[in-house]
Structure 1
Amino acid sequence: MNLSQAIEHANAFVFPGFMADDATLTVERQRNEEAICLLMDAWKSTPAGQEPFPFDLVLGLADRNRVSCDSYGTDRLRNVSPSCLSRSLSNDDLIRAVARMQHRNEADVRRTAGPDCRDLGIAYVEAPVSGTVVGIDIETTDRDPSRGYIVNVGLEFMELAPKAKPNHPFSSCCGLPEMYREKGVPLSFVHHITWKDVEGKKPFRSNKKMQEAILAALTMYPFMAHNAAFEDSWFMLNIDGYAEARKAGKVVPIDTRDICRKVDPEYKTLPHDSRPAALESWARRRGTLKANEKERHLGLEDVDLMFRTVQAEFAERNMFATSK
């Protein structure tokens, strides 16, 4: 599939319910996701204002793909690798995040980090951090943002200071198609969200006011998330206007998982299979989660745990600005 074919596919009208057999649904999903990836790459690589199509075309195709996945059965896609999920933020994103926390020029951070960001760990501790950030975490019904739904959002704000407390917390569950009343909420074994939690709630993609409020928060301050590439990928295909704001540099993600990997010296000494960069493991090492406690996997609770752990790590490494 080339770009012209991807645009044509995204613009094609498809009758809901027309595709019913597994083979047809599988081909449709694969073509949808191939087109989404092509369209996103083309849109991102084109200078602002010169894009060959509006990003709404991508959002519409992602919405269409979710319907196909619902018909096929999301549980059957559990072991199918996600096509539209970024594994990590780019080096440029990581450098920009450090620069924003330290209120430095990106070029200065880049010089320290090196061309491949090998020394980004040095850049993280080279200058003090300060300012306000918004922490955010979502729970979803799938790993791939073009296949599943956002069912829970939690966010709050915090100053990057040793004794700061999170403020203005927000938490909400989001609705699902009626079919999940009988099927059950996918991935509930992870986040423990049931139909009772989402019943009567507006689906995230339909909740324009929630999208606008979240986008306003994410453009006001840099946002922190543990594995921020996950939230970034989901927001690209679920929040109207996010892609445009991200491209314009108005949204700056900060990946606390990368902070753990680059700043915490214990990370490199632990076996890979112990998942040392997982929030739960990191929090236990920093003493923000007791040995017998587990990560909740609920938006606001996880944001709170992330903030406390980042705060403890920054204090341990003397990364906070000294108050006068």
Structure 2
Amino acid sequence: MNVNQALEYANAFYIPEFIFAGGYESIEAERIKGEEALKALLDEWRSTDKPSFSFDIVRELADRNRGLCDAIGEARLRNIPSSALARSLSDADICAGIGAMQGRSAAAVAREVRGDRDAYAVAYVRKPIKGNVLGIDIETTGTAPERGYILNVGWETMELASDSVPQGAEAVFCGLPEDPYRESGVPLQRIHGISWDMVEGKTQFRENQELQERLLSLMLTHPIMAHNAAFEDSWFMLHLKGYAEARQAGKITIIDSRDICRRLDGEVNSLPRESAPAALENWARRRGTLSGGESERHLGLEDADLMLRTVQAEMNRKGMFAR
């Protein structure tokens, strides 16, 4: 599906009653068509500086798709790959993140790296680290932002300094549609421990205007830091109003602490890949920010705090902070 076809599909008069009346096959066919349109629009948005459409169309199409997915059932879709989930940040994003922490431009970092991904390890330590970041983490119903919901978001800020402590910690639980989740339960509860009782009566993230405005304001004033930041980035693209537009305009910078781990922690390459050495929990154990008897909580605020303290510990080992 090309961009024009995707826009035609997204703008067509949508009558959900007709789709649902056709049963599973009709709903699944509509989901596939909708996700093809979403992919075409997202690809176009990311590849051009001046898209021919408003990103509101993309968010609304994703909202429509979630209704279809709820009718199909999360379990049926769990193993179908998401076309909206980025696997990693771009090289340009990594350069911008390094530049933000060192008080210099992304272009200056890119000139040093010259397209050599192995050179990022040197770029991270070339200049002193300083400034403030917004550490953030979300818990969701799955890995596909075009199908699922944000259940919990936690954040705090921290100065990038050797002895700083995180400040302004906040956490918010977000709701789910009663149908079907009251009966079927919260997806991935075995991982994050979030039960229906914890989200019952809460406002859904997409409907919580106050929360959205607060988060966007923080993101516009602080570089964002998250572990496997492409995950948060992909979800905020489709769930946080104004985020995609600000990202494209260069007003939001996102830093991936997992990339920091992979570039700076020399143990990552010596450990078996199947042991997930760059996972936050394993990295934190190696740096002493998580004891051997503790486990990662898989809740937004707790994981954001652990991530910030582990990044700080790694940077202290390398003497990276400005004095």
TM-score (norm. length: structure 2): 0.97
Q: Distance in 1 between matches of 2:117 and 2:105?
A: 16
Q: Distance in 2 between matches of 1:313 and 1:147?
A: 35
2:84 corresponds to 1:94: no
Give the equivalent residue in structure 2 for 1:139.
139
Q: Distance in 2 between matches of 1:204 and 1:115?
A: 38
Give the equivalent residue in structure 2 for 1:265.
266
Contact 2:152–2:174 (CA under 8 A) maintained in structure 1? yes
1:141-185 Cα shifts (integer Å, max 9, x gaps): 010100000010000000001110111111010010012111111
2:165 corresponds to 1:165: yes
Contact 1:113–1:121 (CA under 8 A) maintained in structure 2? no
Written as runs of structure 1 = structure 2, the 5 A alignment for 1:202-281 is 202-281=203-282
Q: Distance in 1 between matches of 2:225 and 2:186?
A: 27
Give the equivalent residue in structure 1 for 2:42.
40
Give the equivalent residue in structure 2 for 1:174.
174
After TM superposition, give the deviation of residue 92 of structure 1 in Å. Answer: 0.3
Give the equivalent residue in structure 2 for 1:74.
74
After TM superposition, give the deviation of residue 127 of structure 1 in Å. Answer: 0.8
What letter matches 1:321 in structure 2?
A
Give the equivalent residue in structure 2 for 1:57.
57
Give the equivalent residue in structure 2 for 1:316.
317
TM-score (norm. length: structure 1): 0.97
SS of 1:152's equivalent in the other structure is strand
56-65 vs 7-16, which deviates more? 7-16
1:6-34 Cα shifts (integer Å, max 9, x gaps): 00111122223433422222221111111
Q: Distance in 1 between matches of 2:45 and 2:115?
A: 25
What letter matches 1:271 in structure 2?
P
SS of 1:157's equivalent in the other structure is strand
Contact 1:224–1:256 (CA under 8 A) maintained in structure 2? yes
2:2 corresponds to 1:2: yes
What letter matches 1:109 in structure 2?
V
Deviation >6 Å, runs of 4+: none
Output the aligned Cα RMSD.
1.1
Higher helix share: 2
What letter matches 1:138 in structure 2?
I
After TM superposition, give the deviation of residue 47 of structure 1 in Å. Answer: 2.5
Gaps of 5+ in 1: none
After TM superposition, give the deviation of residue 311 of structure 1 in Å. Answer: 0.5
Q: Tell me how many residue pairs correspond in the alignment.
A: 320
What letter matches 1:216 in structure 2?
S
1:273-324 Cα shifts (integer Å, max 9, x gaps): 00000000100110111112110000000011001100100000111111xx
What letter matches 1:284 in structure 2?
R
Q: Distance in 2 between matches of 1:31 and 1:116?
A: 38
Contact 2:139–2:153 (CA under 8 A) maintained in structure 1? yes
